[in-house]
Amino acid sequence: MGDLKQVLTLPKIKLASATKIVKWGDHWLLTTTLKNDTKTPAFNVRLKVVGTKDGKRILPVIYSNNYITLLPGEQQIITMELKNEDTRGEKPAVTIEGFNLK
């Protein structure tokens, strides 16, 4: 593996994102579109499903992808599915974290 010291110098950026949330029977389907409109790679981007009121993580969740890197101009759509019984009565929401995200 190469030297990754340059990753530590990446500027902080903000990704464009939009999430669609649909309750489907006894399941929730969340679809998040991420786009990197900056000139800097977004490194190690992670999505989490949380409750809208308490902000606590909801598990288990099936992700189509997670822990991704988005290069400048790149876009990715990620789907997440979870059972309603696992939401503790909360509507789910998505939070986005990453190594160099604001």
Q: How confident is the model at residue 6 (pLDDT cuts 50, 70, 90)?
A: confident
77 located within any domain:
yes
Residue 32 has pLDDT above 80, yes or no: yes
Q: Determine if residue 83 is left, alpha or beta; phi over 0 gives left, psi from -120 to 50 gives alpha, anything else beta.
A: beta
Contact (Cβ atoms closer than 8 angstroms) between residue 95 and residue 47: yes
76 located within any domain:
yes
Model confidence pLDDT, tens digit, residues 45-84? 999 999 999 999 999 999 999 999 999 999 999 999 999 9
What is the CATH number for 80?
2.60.40.10
In angstroms, rounded to a whole number, what is the distance separating the alpha carbons of residues 42 and 34? 10
Residue 7 has pLDDT above 90, yes or no: no
* Secondary structure of 59-95 in HEC code, one letter for each residue: CCCEECCCCEEECCCCEEEEEEEEEHHHHCCCCEEEE
Q: What is the pTM assigned to this prediction? A: 0.92
Domain encompassing residue 50: 29-97
The pLDDT assigned to 5 comes to 84
Contact (Cβ atoms closer than 8 angstroms) between residue 43 and residue 99: yes
